[in-house]
Structure 1
């Protein structure tokens, strides 16, 4: 069965916040990535997570020493190395791994550490984490060895690598592809593209997103989506509403910006996060 995502069914996404609340009530997301030459990816994900309402965002760079100590555009982000945060006693609700991670041996070791050390965690794997997962050196059994809940967010080419087929084969039958990915990896799958599809490992329903436009075909928009998904999961929305809500908001933001002639041509990832925040607040409080 295929069901279109409808914002009217995303009640948890649009709940008003308790007046007597603190940042601890809205969770912590840890984002791992940003290897050499790709620092922007992890910062985009972190900024998006913050703007979607999570209490704290930890940025863990895939370096032995952090290349920066502060993001001057978003100084609220807590920045250090991935290794530092993995050893920290801070409770992290959701880990987002892969934004600009690279595919080095060091990056592969980081994924293994997180999957094994962070038992019973919710883990979102995006970008280079998916490419590592698709490599011959990685065993799929590691994904669930610690009872982790896993979300994979491939675009069509990444999905093709995960299934060992061509991108065209994925595009020719996206429904079968998202089902097979979910079954093979025992994970939630967000198959990005026109009418993004979402499938859970234990539900026969496939959800289809009808928001979004070609403005999303630009650098960094996938990192923003990964950050948004991690943010909403960390805010303790049920997993389905968090994933569907992030996908819907991501596309809806591009639609709203295009109505203002800020896109689809030249739309940037940072603008998506800003607009998604505006939409969530407008629906919640108006």
Structure 2
């Protein structure tokens, strides 16, 4: 990668116009708008996966499956009757256990997987990602978020070989430090360069969530930037919503870089809308969700 990398491209009206989302007209079915599998959750955060799943539907995905710990699965199914639910074994700590059958069955009928939201244990996240790598679905895209993206560093080569071109990583600053094996100050000293290098290393679209979010393409050169939705976005559940929005857009047939750009823009603009009508801080992560379809192109 050349030292003279291009300047970041702003995600603004010009970028959105030049990178439209797929149009679903007459004859569209649930299956043609894509199927999202969201995997995660834990006893400590049993409802976080609900935010991810609903975001996928709110941006237009056709079908949703939630795969989570057995004790939380029926509750999520009741809370979101639009989704199918797969109950996975849980360990004594309330994290996802190493159980292949039901999870691998669920992966066979999805277009996009989003893995990691509301998981707490790094060890559990590693087991989960390794399980997916051992028997991956054909052609499905993979979004790694939260604990699953923080633990992905040692799995870089396997992820690149298996999901290269179909992989999206969505770390915040702390998760990026874990992913890269460095401290947060090193990333803040060169966020653009770090994002570019990491995207190229993984063969992935990388979304570095900061006050100004950066999105790096797998080529290590193309870089997008979004100035942020405001300080109110720094709230629990906000990242779960973003991961689901990106996954939902990919399921509709949007390429990973475009889906990440639109997902970040929709997420941030939802925050801006809430800052205007609710207040600059104090709105909730789940309040972002109804804003998403209002912001989608008509």
Q: Same fold (TM over 0.5)?
A: yes
Partners in 1 of 2:216 and 2:143 — Cα distance?
A: 14
2:200 pairs with 1:200: no
Shift of 1:276: 1.5
Q: Secondary structure at the match of 1:139?
A: helix
CA contact (8 A) 2:37 2:106 kept: no
Residue equivalent to 2:127 = 109
Q: Deviations over 1:187-227 (max 9, x none)?
A: 11100011100001115121011241111100000010000
CA contact (8 A) 2:196 2:220 kept: no
From 113, 118, 124, the equivalent of 2:143 is 124
**Correspondences of 1:165-244 after superposition (within 5 Å):** 165-244=182-261
Q: 1:7 to 1:30 in 2, by over 3 A?
A: farther
RMSD, aligned α-carbons: 2.0
Shift of 1:161: 1.5
From 43, 46, 70, the equivalent of 1:39 is 46
Count of residue correspondences: 276
2:15 pairs with 1:9: yes
Per mean C-alpha deviation after superposition, the further-off stretch among 27-36 and 173-182 is 173-182
2:35 pairs with 1:28: yes
Per mean C-alpha deviation after superposition, the further-off stretch among 13-22 and 33-42 is 13-22
TM-score, normalised on structure 2? 0.85
CA contact (8 A) 2:36 2:248 kept: yes
CA contact (8 A) 2:65 2:85 kept: yes
Structure 1: gaps spanning 5 or more residues: none
Residue equivalent to 1:68 = 73
Shift of 1:268: 0.9
Structure 2: gaps spanning 5 or more residues: 1-5, 89-99
2:288 pairs with 1:272: yes
Partners in 2 of 1:14 and 1:131 — Cα distance?
A: 29
Relative contact order (C-alpha < 8 Å, sep 6+): which is higher?
Answer: 1
Q: 1:27 to 1:170 in 2, by over 3 A?
A: same
Shift of 1:275: 0.7
CA contact (8 A) 2:35 2:61 kept: yes
Shift of 1:89: 7.4
2:75 pairs with 1:78: no
Per mean C-alpha deviation after superposition, the further-off stretch among 148-157 and 79-88 is 79-88
Q: Deviations over 1:158-206 (max 9, x none)?
A: 1112222221221222111111211232211100011100001115121
Partners in 1 of 2:54 and 2:110 — Cα distance?
A: 17
Residue equivalent to 2:172 = 155
Q: 1:141 to 1:14 in 2, by over 3 A?
A: closer
Q: Deviations over 1:65-87 (max 9, x none)?
A: 35232534421121113552422
Q: 1:10 to 1:203 in 2, by over 3 A?
A: farther
Partners in 2 of 1:34 and 1:28 — Cα distance?
A: 19
CA contact (8 A) 2:195 2:216 kept: yes
Q: Secondary structure at the match of 1:22?
A: coil
Q: Secondary structure at the match of 1:37?
A: coil
Partners in 1 of 2:157 and 2:28 — Cα distance?
A: 40
From 115, 127, 133, the equivalent of 1:97 is 115
Residue equivalent to 1:54 = 61
Q: Secondary structure at the match of 1:146?
A: helix
Partners in 2 of 1:90 and 1:140 — Cα distance?
A: 23
